[in-house]
Amino acid sequence: MQPDTGDILAMASYPDYNLNTPFTPNTTELQENWENMSSEERVDAQYSMWQNLAVARNYEPGSTFKIITSAIALEEDIVDTDNENDFLCTGSETIYDTTINCWRSYNPHGHQSLRMALQNSCNPAFIQLGQKIGKDTFYKYLKAFGLMDRTNALVYGESNSVFHSLDEVGPIELATLSFGQRFTVTPLQLITAFSAIANDGVLIQPRIVKQIVNPDTNTVTNIEPTEVRRVLSTETCEELKSLLESVVTNGTGRYAAVEGYQIGGKTGTSEPIYNNTNSYYVASYFALSPIVDTKVCVLLTLYDPQGESHEGGQIAAPVISQILSEVLPYLGIASDKDASSDTTDTITITDVRNKTLSEAIKILEEDGLEVIYNVSGDRNELLVTDQVPKPGTKTSDDSVICLYTTENDSRTTIKMPNLKGKTLQEAANMLRAVNLNYTYEGTGKVMSQSVLADESVEEGTVIKLTLKNEVTDTY
């Protein structure tokens, strides 16, 4: 999901089925039992295999939900991020006659800050935090995050969450709620809530379709992003993203790391309900990247995992790492290594004025440049009267050049994008998208640009970027 627009960039569930043969059982187990099933059981099985699990199947989110608990506590000023004496893990927490163990009960975490508790995914710490929050405040934020309502994303078969009613929530229910168990949500509801954190506190409705084009009339209908409400302050979200980054760098979420990128994440492992044969382990992982100006959120949910491990940090995190290692470059988000290395070659623009358009195109394309022109006449007869960039200009070797001729000298102006704070690759992608060129000096992120944001500039103009590494205070 793209958090600032709500766009669902990808959605998939497995096992899938063949759309050409939708009535054919889609798993080996179902195929083996098919002949012994009643007609009613077969219908139920088919409806089940046609489900889009991301929107139709509820599950207990487990420890990924500790992100929400942390968000509430920070927003309500109940806890700080790094006070080491806020929580005490002795290996378990007892509420009345119920004892809830920490996953590391054999070696308790001891005194912890919120950051440490999130890194360690410590249930006792979050039970203590839930008690400080209280059920009334907790439920106020569940509603604000949209977790008690369908997302209305216009996808077929969307289910809704299942929570205890507020008057049914006692100390034990509040305890399990605080670490993400004994209630259910859909993956779509949860990633939408998490994306509000990535979007600096603003909840956005998921968007499946962003534009409709009528091929007969060429009319275009844009579906604008829908802002639902502000849930958290920007300051709280910055603190949360810092916490999530430390889960990946120093905590249980380390297997989701991607070299060269800042990743924030949280593991999840929900346990089957005691004496409920229809329940099972669910391993999951939520991640966002980059930490600053987040562009993508990912949620992976593995139902009833088989094998030696059922823990999200062990089996879901590596898949998240693989997904992000492909998605981030695809979205044009440069790694830290790319952003800090001077790898872009420059080229000096050749003078092609007074040549025929055909000659000019050939010369410039041999230099590796993309040529833009707008003519209807014979390219072998039309002469080039002007070019942008001008002859002798130095620019990147993947630039565009606009040619003007005796037939057409009309110019296109571009509204200059704001590149400050972007990596070199991000800035380059934004400029290429509007047919502007660039040169740069320095390393790190864009500190200044030769043409100010929102000013009009001629298509093909070379923008000079000044990059600088961020300075971190040390004590």
Residue 80 · residue 54 · CB < 8 Å: no
Say if 39 falls within a structural domain. Answer: yes
Both 178 and 247 in a single domain?
yes
Residue 326 has pLDDT above 60, yes or no: yes
Both 155 and 92 in a single domain?
yes
Pairing mode, if any, of strands 282-289 and 394-396? unpaired
Average pLDDT over residues 224-243: 97
Please give the tally of structural domains in the chain.
Answer: 2
Both 405 and 450 in a single domain?
yes
Residue 115 has pLDDT above 50, yes or no: yes
Both 133 and 277 in a single domain?
yes
Distances in Å between the alpha carbon of 32 and those of 17, 19, 22, 27, 36? 16, 21, 17, 9, 9
Residue 382 has pLDDT above 90, yes or no: yes
Q: What is the mean pLDDT of the chain?
A: 92
Say if 1 falls within a structural domain. Answer: no
> What pLDDT is recorded for position 271?
85
Say if 280 falls within a structural domain. Answer: yes
Please give the model's pTM, rounded to 2 decimal places. Answer: 0.71
Q: CATH number for the domain including 395?
A: 3.30.10.20
> What pLDDT is recorded for position 342?
45
Both 305 and 391 in a single domain?
no
The larger pLDDT score, comparing residue 274 to residue 130, is at 130
> What pLDDT is recorded for position 226?
96
Residue 84 · residue 113 · CB < 8 Å: yes
Say if 2 falls within a structural domain. Answer: no
In DSSP terms, 267 is beta-bridged to 285
Residue 86 has pLDDT above 80, yes or no: yes
Both 214 and 177 in a single domain?
yes
Both 122 and 248 in a single domain?
yes
| Helix-helix angle 187-198:66-75, to 10 degrees | 40
> What pLDDT is recorded for position 427?
86
Domain containing residue 202:
28-333
| Cα–Cα distance, 432 to 403 (Å, whole number) | 17
Residue 245 · residue 264 · CB < 8 Å: yes
Both 43 and 83 in a single domain?
yes
> What pLDDT is recorded for position 221?
94
| Cα–Cα distance, 382 to 365 (Å, whole number) | 18
> What pLDDT is recorded for position 344?
58
pLDDT tens digits for range 327-372: 988 888 887 765 444 455 788 999 999 999 999 999 999 988 999 9
> What pLDDT is recorded for position 423?
84
Label residue 50 exposed, middle or buried (CB < 10 Å: 0-12, 13-18, 19+).
Answer: middle
Residue 234 has pLDDT above 80, yes or no: yes
Average pLDDT over residues 228-255: 96
Report helix, strand or coil for 17.
Answer: coil
Which single residue is written with the structure tokens 């043969």?
A: 21
Average pLDDT over residues 455-467: 92
Distances in Å between the alpha carbon of 79 and those of 58, 86, 178, 189, 199? 30, 8, 14, 26, 22
Residue 435 · residue 418 · CB < 8 Å: no
Split at pLDDT 50, 70, 90, the class of 470 is low
Residue 464 has pLDDT above 90, yes or no: yes
Residue 279 · residue 273 · CB < 8 Å: yes
Split at pLDDT 50, 70, 90, the class of 7 is very high
Both 209 and 357 in a single domain?
no
Both 309 and 217 in a single domain?
yes
pLDDT tens digits for range 403-458: 999 898 889 999 999 999 888 888 888 888 889 999 998 888 898 999 999 999 99
Closest residue by Cα to residue 391 from 367, 416, 415: 367
> What pLDDT is recorded for position 426?
83
Which single residue is written with the structure tokens 């991640």?
A: 287
Write down which residue in 333, 359, 380 finishes a domain: 333
Say if 341 falls within a structural domain. Answer: no
Say if 23 falls within a structural domain. Answer: no
> What pLDDT is recorded for position 337?
60
The larger pLDDT score, comparing residue 395 to residue 469, is at 395
Q: CATH number for the domain including 132?
A: 3.40.710.10
Both 314 and 416 in a single domain?
no
> What pLDDT is recorded for position 260?
85
Write down which residue in 284, 303, 333 finishes a domain: 333
> What pLDDT is recorded for position 303?
93
| Helix-helix angle 66-75:123-133, to 10 degrees | 40
Both 162 and 34 in a single domain?
yes
Please report, rounded to a whole number, the percentage of residues in the chain having pLDDT higher than 70: 97
